[in-house]
Chains A and B, each alone.
Chain A
Amino acid sequence: MIKVDEQIAIEHGLKKDEYKKICDLLNRTPNITELGVFSAMWNEHCSYKSSRKHLKKLHTKGKQVIQGPGENAGVVDIEDNDAIVFKIESHNHPSFIEPYQGAATGVGGIMRDIFTMGARPIANLNSIHFGSIDHEKTRNLLRGVVKGIGGYGNCIGVPTIAGQTCFDESYNGNILVNAMTLGLVNKNKIFYSKAAGINKPVIYVGSKTGRDGIHGASMASAIFDDKIEEKKPTVQVGDPFTEKLLLEACLELMAGKSIISIQDMGAAGLTSSSIEMASKGDLGIEIDLNKVPCREENMTPYEIMLSESQERMLIVLEAGKENEAKKIFDKWNLDFAVIGKTTNSKNIELFFENKKVAEIPIDFLAENAPMYDRKWTKSKLPKKNKFSKDDFKSLKLSDCLNKILTDPNIADKEWIWNQYDHTVMGDTIQKPGGNAGVVRVHGTNKAVAAAVDSSATYCHAHPLTGGKQVVCESWRNMISVGAKPIAITNCLNFGNPEKEKNMGEFVECVEGITEASKYLNYPVVSGNVSFYNETKDKGIKPTPSIGGIGLLSDYKQMITMELKNDGNYIFVIGKTEGHLDQSIFAKNILSNHNGPPPEINLFNEKQNGMSILNLNNKNLIETCHDVSLGGILTAVSKMSIKGNKGVKLFPIEGLVNKFEYFFGEDQGRYIIEIKPENLGNVEKILKKDSIHFDKLGIIGSDQISYKNDLKISIEDIKEGYKKWLKDYMVN
């Protein structure tokens, strides 16, 4: 048996004072198994020790919220007893080390969080961030991650309906893979992780336990260095086939009444699942580790407790229901073992070969886990750039547009989503590549929209504004498909929280998210935090990913973004001041990386959004697309390409120059298409609601034109926009 000392504790990722605290709490030195359990529960990934204080500030309440943060996933009401269970989660560290398995098990893990609550997964989404396109690893990482996400989701048979891909050199050493799943559940049949009652059997189901993923959660709480390759064994290996069986078996068991509580074995495996269930139920738990189905021989208690083998669940069952439950798991060919029971000791007690090998009060692991109030610095709002006429003198609109449409962060991502099954389950009514993915609620007239957004550039320039902006962009994505925004889940990807600057970025992004979500009644109901996205002292840009969902009470009211008919008009809703700082145009054309991100005006944001929904309810708009990266001309081009229709743009009114007008990234804007016969009505409503709008142009021909300054055929811009990523991946 290994003798535990401070050095070993440090190797487990614990700090000196944390180790001392463990010894003090126990009033003795922990043995190696106990140390392993402590390290798994006290690492950043599981304990949220740097973030907990700030996460409490998030806006998490609302009439629509059935379950907020703290469970396996959040739950919101979508009427008629239906509820949506959803969450986003990071799998960043493992995906960098082993992209296929890292991404695949990220998808598997988040889907388990959803069906653990009794919901059938109905849609997957993802947000993936890679390093610079010139970085030697980017292509392989992208290829591996996409294959991993597809490999898992496609096999389970859950459509991947939307996503987001970014390239930025700050991710060169730390890619981000955030996976999100939505599930559908009857709101009276939701399952929770809180155990209740003593002497209830604790059941292990699913795959066998192997040595993979040991210390995965600790790895996810560490920064990377040159020895990163050595961490490969800490990456879990996924088996989507087993997960599919586990999904069906769990849902079959859940149709009955034998489950008291259920929890998937995710990060820190058996350790965190058993402790979480006991802790929430204020109980103790006793486990006989010899009963745990093992894949490999001679596994030690330490290895069994810390394995992160995938596709496993822990269930507390009503006593006497074991046989009934076992039959279901036998039918699906899955392991089923009674491995312990709940107790009133309030301790976790582990037995192995008839000896007690660990005993720790649950409180020490959960409530007494360290919580830090880390120091942080406030970011200043950068000074605005002053561009002069000379900056634009030699520029041509068409060159700028072509360059922007082939920017890696703008160009079409079909190469990615064609590898994801996005139509299985037969309810996908809006595919990837639109404003948001939309799936029908099976067998009803309702549909749910979902999208993931992040804006690291803005968050990096000013975290508070950036935090607000991401929430607003998510809200706009819902509005643009005609859905009423309901709630969000957030995946907070940041650098090293022990650095004041990084911690400040986190704190202020959270503040921004909170402010916007409160104002828009768009509460955060679930999420996770991924810190230590740092390699050799270089951290990522602050990247909160926001997964939003919205509801269409009649799916036939859904709006899409492709231009529909010649002769129809297009309007811009929302005011265009021509904010170029931090825009794609500034970076890509003017090579300027300074200045503040566009300002967020929450009042206008809400007004504009609500008025779009109002127009849609009256069937007055044909098409809608929110204006985001690349500004108006980029948005129009995408709408033109998708609909294969040209646009004649009207002369701009006002003082903003054409580059600022067409490429500025002012917030809170949408482009809508209106039939000529509805023009009067639409204008009347917008004026009545005091909504700012510009008449942007009229649909027709096969080119986009603006006075004598721009004439560009749809075929030409389509070519570059559609082909960029494919060409990049082939070369």
Chain B
Amino acid sequence: MKSSVIIFPGSNCDRDMDVALKKFGFKNQMVWHNDTEIPKSDLIVLPGGFSYGDYLRCGSIAGKSRIIKSVIDFANSGGLVLGICNGFQILTETGLLPGILQQNKYLNFICKNVFVKIKNKENKYFKNINKEVLELHIAHNEGNYFCSNDELKSIEDNSQIAITYCDHKGKDDEMNNPNGALKNIAGIFNKDKNILGMMPHPERMIDPFLSGEDGSLFFENLIGSL
């Protein structure tokens, strides 16, 4: 399976993602933001970081970068596009995913382990994960998901909510919402479920010596379902 990780100036989780993809069997290649074409891929990843310094708004300049047209074309033709953290922000800026990511409710950067509940397994990202709750890691200042009521209705009607913040038992209430995200949303799909944007970083949870191992389940499933 081939994957491509896009490097924007200011990306800083590109290497981590490369390491994770390769560990689970992807043939990964790095693609520079100023390129216009993406090599043949089964998966495109927009990594975390601070693309273009996150000036203007998080992800906004990356959403207009040279490479992004190819990403959009790939996504629209049904290709798998995964955006982690800043990558999620970029996906909302391009319009591939609905809604926006605002500054965290308590106005601080948050770096810690969180639990997320898988809300939809009818897709390649979570299909064969035989757990309902994953322990993942967040590290962001703007992860507070928000969208209009109409958009929310449409997201819910189309089962586009991918994961929600919760406790270790899966209770996804306000008590377990680290950043103020609407409906505890930590990640969403597009209607066709080929595009996933999520704030947590599975690539930081891929061996027992790191903060945890549930990231491994995510990547194992991903390569298995392609």
Binding site for B on A (CB under 8 A): 147, 150-151, 154-157, 239-242, 244-245, 332-333, 417-426, 428-429, 431, 440, 555-556, 558
**In the bound complex, do residue B203 and residue A426 qualify as a contact, i.e. CB atoms below 8 Å apart?**
yes
Q: What's the least CB distance linking B137 to chain A, in Å?
A: 6
The answer to the question of B50 belonging to the interface, with a C-beta cut-off of 8 Å to chain A, is yes
Q: Is the CB of B209 within 8 A of A157?
A: no
Q: Is the CB of B50 within 8 A of A241?
A: yes
CA distance A728 to B184 in the complex (A): 27
CA distance A240 to B13 in the complex (A): 15
Q: Is the CB of A241 within 8 A of B10?
A: yes
Which residues of chain B from 32 to 67 have a CB within 8 Å of any chain A CB? 48-50, 52-55
A555 touches B209 (CB 8 A): yes
CB contacts (< 8 Å) of B201 on chain A: these are: 423
Known: A157-B12, A157-B13, A241-B52. A428 touches B210 (CB 8 A): yes
B169: Cβ under 8 A from any A Cβ: no
Are B109 and A245 touching (Cβ within 8 A)? Answer: no
**What would be 30 A-B contacts, judged by CB atoms less than 8 Å apart?**
A147-B109, A150-B109, A154-B109, A154-B111, A154-B139, A155-B50, A241-B9, A241-B10, A241-B52, A241-B53, A417-B111, A418-B112, A419-B109, A419-B111, A420-B109, A421-B139, A422-B111, A423-B139, A423-B210, A423-B211, A424-B12, A424-B16, A426-B19, A426-B204, A426-B206, A426-B210, A429-B210, A431-B211, A555-B209, A558-B209
A-binding residues in B (CB < 8 A): 9-10, 12-13, 15-16, 19-20, 48-50, 52-55, 108-112, 137, 139, 141, 201, 203-204, 206, 209-211
Q: A147-B109, A157-B49, A426-B204 are in contact. List 14 more A-B contacts (CB 8 A).
A: A151-B109, A154-B50, A155-B10, A155-B12, A240-B50, A244-B50, A245-B9, A333-B9, A417-B111, A418-B110, A421-B109, A421-B111, A426-B16, A428-B210
Q: Which residue of B lies closest to A245 (CB)?
A: B9
* Least CB distance, B110 to chain A, in whole angstroms: 6
Contact of A425 among B16, B20, B112, B137 (CB under 8 A): B16
Q: Which 8 A-B pairs have the closest CB atoms?
A: A157-B12, A241-B53, A426-B16, A429-B209, A421-B139, A155-B50, A419-B109, A423-B204
Q: Is the CB of A244 within 8 A of B12?
A: yes
**Beta-carbon nearest neighbor of B19 in chain A:** A426
B55 to chain A, nearest CB (A): 7
Please give, as numbers and ranges, the residues of chain B lying within 8 Å of A332 by CB-CB distance: 9
- CB neighbours of A440 from chain B (8 A): 209
Contact partners of A245 in chain B: CB under 8 A: 9-10
Chain A residues near B110 (CB-CB < 8 A):
418-419
> Complex Cα distance A431/B212, Å?
12
B156 to chain A, nearest CB (A): 31
- In angstroms, Cα B65 to Cα A242, docked, is 18
Q: How far is the CB of A311 from chain B (nearest CB, A)?
A: 12
A156 touches B111 (CB 8 A): no
Nearest A residue to B113 by beta-carbon distance?
A: A423
A55 to B160, CA, bound (A): 63
B49 cross-chain contacts in A, Cβ below 8 A: 157
Residues of B within 8 A of A242 (CB): 53
What is the bound-complex CA distance between A156 and B209, given in angstroms? 23
Q: Output the least CB separation between A144 and chain B (Å).
A: 12
Chain A residue numbers with a CB within 8 Å of B9 are 241, 244-245, 332-333
C-alpha gap A147/B109 in the complex (Å): 8
Of A239, A245, A420, A424, most B-chain CB atoms within 10 Å:
A424
Interchain CA distance A477-B197 in the complex, whole Å: 40
- Count chain A CB atoms within 10 A of each CB in B9, B16, B54 and give the residue with the most: B9
Q: Are A244 and B10 in contact (CB under 8 A)?
A: yes
Q: Give CA–CA (A233, B54) in the complex, Å.
A: 26
In the bound complex, how far is the Cα of B16 from the Cα of A428, in angstroms?
12
**Docked CA distance A50–B53 (Å):** 41
Specify which chain B residues have a CB less than 8 angstroms from the CB of A418 in the assembled complex: 108, 110-112
Contact pick for B111, options A423, A426, A556, A558, CB 8 Å: A423
Contacts of B50 in A (CB 8 A): 154-155, 240-241, 244
Neighbouring B residues of A429 by C-beta, 8 Å: 209-210
Contact B206 A420 (CB under 8 A): no
Q: Which residues of A contact B206 (CB under 8 A)?
A: 426
How far is B86's CA from A421's CA once the two chains are assembled, in angstroms?
A: 14
Give A412 Cβ to nearest chain B Cβ, in Å: 13
Q: How far is the CA of A426 from the CA of B19 in the complex (A)?
A: 9
Which B residues lie within 8 Å of A431 (CB)?
Answer: 211
**Nearest CB to that of A425 among chain B residues?**
B16
| Distance between A723 CB and nearest chain B CB, rounded to angstroms | 15
**Which residues of B are found within 8 Å of A150, using beta-carbon distances?**
109
User: Is the Cβ of B111 less than 8 Å from the Cβ of A420?
Assistant: yes
Residues of A contacting B48 with CB < 8 Å? 424
| Contact between B109 and A423, CB atoms less than 8 A apart | no
- Residues in B with CB closer than 8 Å to A417 are 111
A558 to B: closest C-beta gap in Å: 8
Cα A189 to Cα B54 in complex, Å, equals 33
Which of chain B's residues has its CB closest to A244's CB? B10
Q: Is the CB of A425 within 8 A of B15?
A: yes
Given contacts A241-B52, A241-B55, A429-B209, contact A423 B137 (CB under 8 A): yes
Docked Cα-Cα span, A244 to B12, in Å, equals 9
Cα separation A712 to B192 with both chains bound (whole Å): 55
Q: What B residues does A555 contact at CB under 8 A?
A: 209
CB of A333 to closest CB in B, whole Å: 7
| Cα-based distance from A154 to B9 in the complex (angstroms) | 15
How far apart sit A440 and B209, CA to CA, in the bound complex (Å)? 10
Chain B contacts of A420 at CB under 8 A?
A: 109, 111
Residue of A at shortest CB range from B18? A426
Complex contact A424–B139 (CB within 8 A): yes
Chain A residues with Cβ below 8 Å from B203 are 426
Query: Chain A nearest CB: distance from B86 CB in Å?
Result: 11
Given contacts A150-B109, A418-B110, whether A424 and B10 have CB atoms under 8 Å apart is no
In the bound complex, residues from chain B placing their C-beta under 8 Å from that of A156 are: 12
A148 to chain B: closest CB distance in Å? 11
Whether the Cβ atoms of B53 and A155 lie closer than 8 Å is yes
Closest chain-A Cβ to B161's Cβ sits at a distance in Å of: 25
Smallest Cβ distance from B6 to chain A, in angstroms?
A: 15
CA distance A420 to B9 in the complex (A): 21
| Min CB–CB distance A239 → chain B (angstroms) | 7
Give A556 to B48 CA distance when docked, in angstroms. Answer: 28
What separation, in Å, do the CA atoms of A145 and B115 have in the docked complex?
29
Contact check, B108 vs A419: say whether CB atoms are below 8 A apart.
yes
* Chain A minimum-CB-distance residue to B55: A241
Question: A440 CA to B13 CA in the complex, in Å?
Answer: 16
A242 CA to B15 CA, complexed, in Å: 19
B104 to chain A, nearest CB (A): 10
**Do residues A424 and B108 form an inter-chain contact, with CB atoms below 8 A?**
no
CA distance A69 to B73 in the complex (A): 54
Cα A556 to Cα B203 with chains together (Å): 20
Give the residues in chain B near A154, CB-CB below 8 Å.
50, 109, 111, 139, 141
From B16, B109, B141, B206, name the one whose CB has the most chain A CB atoms within 10 angstroms. B109
A154 to B203, CA, bound (A): 17
- B209 contacts which chain A residues (CB < 8 A)? 429, 440, 555-556, 558
Q: Give the complex CA separation of A431 and B19 in angstroms.
A: 20
In the complex formed, the residue of A with least CB distance to B201 is A423
User: CB-nearest residue of chain B relative to A120?
Assistant: B15
Bound CA–CA A419/B104 (angstroms) = 12
| A418 CA / B109 CA spacing, docked (Å) | 7
A240 and B52 alpha carbons, distance in the complex (Å): 11
Contacts of B139 in A (CB 8 A): 154, 421, 423-424
What's the nearest-Cβ distance from chain B to residue A334, in Å? Answer: 10
Which residues from A are CB-within-8-Å of B15? Answer: 425-426
- Give the residue of B16, B53, B137, B141 whose beta carbon is less than 8 angstroms from that of A239: B53
> What's the least CB distance linking B24 to chain A, in Å?
14
Q: State the Cβ distance, B90 to closest chain A Cβ, in Å.
A: 15
Complex-state Cα separation, A240 to B51, whole angstroms: 12
User: Closest B-chain residue to A558, C-beta based?
Assistant: B209
Interchain nearest-CB distance for B159 vs A (Å): 31
Measured between alpha carbons, how far is A332 from B34 in the docked complex, in Å? 11
Q: How far is B53's CA from A423's CA once the two chains are assembled, in angstroms?
A: 20
Residue of B nearest to A427 (CB): B210
